[in-house]
Amino acid sequence: MSGMQIIRSRGELQALADAERGAGRRIALVPTMGAIHTGHLALVEEARRRADRVWVSIFVNPTQFDDPADYDGYPRSFEGDLRACREAGVDVVYAPRPEELYPPGAQTWVEVSELSKPLCGAAREGHFRGVTTVVSKLLLAAKPHVAVFGEKDFQQLALIRRMARDLGFDVEIVGAPTVREADGLARSSRNLRLGPQARKQALALVRALDGAGQAVAAGERDTVKLLAGVRGEIAKASLAEIDYAELRDPESLEPSPATLAGPALLALAVRFSPDPDGRGAEVRLIDNRVLLGL
């Protein structure tokens, strides 16, 4: 087997995509912003199951940061990322320069109007427009048969599915299950920034999701009661403050009816304060589960 290719040029990537497609080989793309952790590697495994070639893009996308300081401070670990990709058997890493994806005078935006408004979109002006724009550029660069995204970022996944369907991208958008720590907390590079006490309390999200799942299994369909249970569980964590806790249609993201009759996405975003002794930073965590799923 030949080594992993690192490609900087879109034209080169497109030519390789044409060659692979022409030879009948399936390409799966895993878009990342680098800082690769085990969550990403699960996406790579999912990609491997679905294609002959696994391509990972590494690009810290400036247009999805609402705060320029966040962009500047975003962890960059290119050499480590390459090593992780190589060990995971990735075939191609696409690492474009910012000027390639945003050439001088760039002014074209891909926007999903309704799905980008609620939940995480409400607080982060322009964030999802940046996401859908850069994902369009990555799909046009790599021409994959499949693109894999984590289910943890459920709203991002719903937006990208909608975008791919609306514009007619010739790609299958695949959601990969959330990877969790041993105790159940959804894997995120932010977990490391929690203080020890906040890290323990963060399990409130998992307990809230589990509790709602059990209630639904026991026959509860009343969304007000289900959400009251969720809020009660999170309220037990003294460092936690709910950003949102909502039941929504998994595809349209519209609020679920008062009585659940089909699949409903329970979506949580919770802010944790630093520990009382000052350890840790303020960290916003998200998690979700589909209730009444197939």
Q: Which of the residues are catalytic?
A: 40
DSSP 92-103: EEE---HHHHS-
Sign of the torsion angle spanned by Cα atoms 271, 275, 276, 278:
negative
Sign of the torsion angle spanned by Cα atoms 40, 41, 46, 48:
positive
Beta carbons within 8 Å of 212's beta carbon, 6+ residues apart: 226, 229, 230, 266, 289, 291
Q: Nearest distance from residue 167's CB to a second copy, in Å?
A: 6
8 contributes a contact to a second copy by CB under 8 A: no
Count other Cβ atoms within 10 Å, centred on residue 142.
28
Tokens 């075939």 belong to residue: 91
Residue 280: both structure tokens together: 């840790």
108 contributes a contact to a second copy by CB under 8 A: yes
* Size of residue set near a second copy by CB under 8 A: 36
The only residue of 137, 199, 248, 289 in contact with a second copy, by rule CB under 8 A: 137
173 contributes a contact to a second copy by CB under 8 A: no
Q: Nearest distance from residue 293's CB to a second copy, in Å?
A: 20
Query: Which DSSP letter does residue 66 get?
Result: S
Find the largest Cα–Cα distance for the chain.
60
H or E element at residue 146? strand 146-150
Q: Nearest distance from residue 236's CB to a second copy, in Å?
A: 38
Q: Which of the stretches 56-64, 100-108, 215-223, 258-266 binds a second copy when contact is defined by CB under 8 A?
A: 100-108
The only residue of 168, 261, 277, 278 in contact with a second copy, by rule CB under 8 A: 168
The only residue of 166, 183, 222, 241 in contact with a second copy, by rule CB under 8 A: 166
Q: Nearest distance from residue 17's CB to a second copy, in Å?
A: 8
The only residue of 59, 94, 128, 169 in contact with a second copy, by rule CB under 8 A: 169
| Contacts (CB under 8 A) with a second copy, residues 192-251 | none
| Ramachandran sector of residue 230 (left: φ over 0; alpha: ψ -120 to 50; beta: rest) | alpha
Q: Considering beta carbons, is residue 6 or 110 the nearer one to a second copy? A: 110
Residue 254: both structure tokens together: 């519209």
Q: Nearest distance from residue 140's CB to a second copy, in Å?
A: 5
Which residues are at the interface with a second copy (CB under 8 A)?
Answer: 10, 14, 18, 21-22, 100-103, 105-115, 132-133, 136-137, 140-141, 143, 162-163, 165-170, 252
